[in-house]
A = this chain, B = another copy of it.
Amino acid sequence: MTSARAEKLTTPSEREIRIERIFDAPRERVWRALTDPELVSQWWGRGNALVVERMEVTRGGHWRYVEHAADGAHGFEGRYREVTPPERLVYTFEWDGMPGYVVLEMTTLEDLGDGRTKVVTVALFHTSEERDGMLSSDMAEGLGQSYAALDKVLAALG
């Protein structure tokens, strides 16, 4: 169903972006795909090579990915605030291109009871200007590509 595969993007407050997406896989499997470095490297880069330099999925652990795109290498990093398998992951997100602009991302995985999982991510920015900057970037398109790649990883794990 195409409709279920579309992200729903909303702005609950002037400093937040909320993204909701349903995946056709049970919650434990989605959790694995979000937290296993080997699996993350298969979908996060949207088809670009992704090097997971660091990924310590535990409270206080750090993560750092480098995506090798046509226009060069892009580094992303952050730190885990909360890791509660298989339901909640809270971490910071920062792109090397805008160092010091830290987004807090809170991801929850809801078991829909029919073998599907709803993933909701709320991203909180320090200012509404930073939030608006993210909205006017190609973030939504990139996320759609990542999630489409994640669909495939989940299907292959099934």
Contacts and interface: CB of A to CB of B under 8 A. Distances in A.
B80 A100 contact: yes
A102 B104 contact: yes
A92 B81 contact: no
A92 B60 CA distance: 16
How many copies of this kind of chain does the complex include? 2
Interface residues of A, number: 21
Nearest to A82: B100
A59 B92 contact: no
Contact of A96 (B60, B102, B104): B60
Given A79-B94, A126-B124, A102 B102 contact: yes
8 contacts: A59-B99, A60-B99, A90-B100, A92-B100, A100-B104, A102-B102, A104-B126, A124-B126
Interface of A: 59-61, 78-82, 90-92, 94, 96, 99-102, 104, 124, 126-127
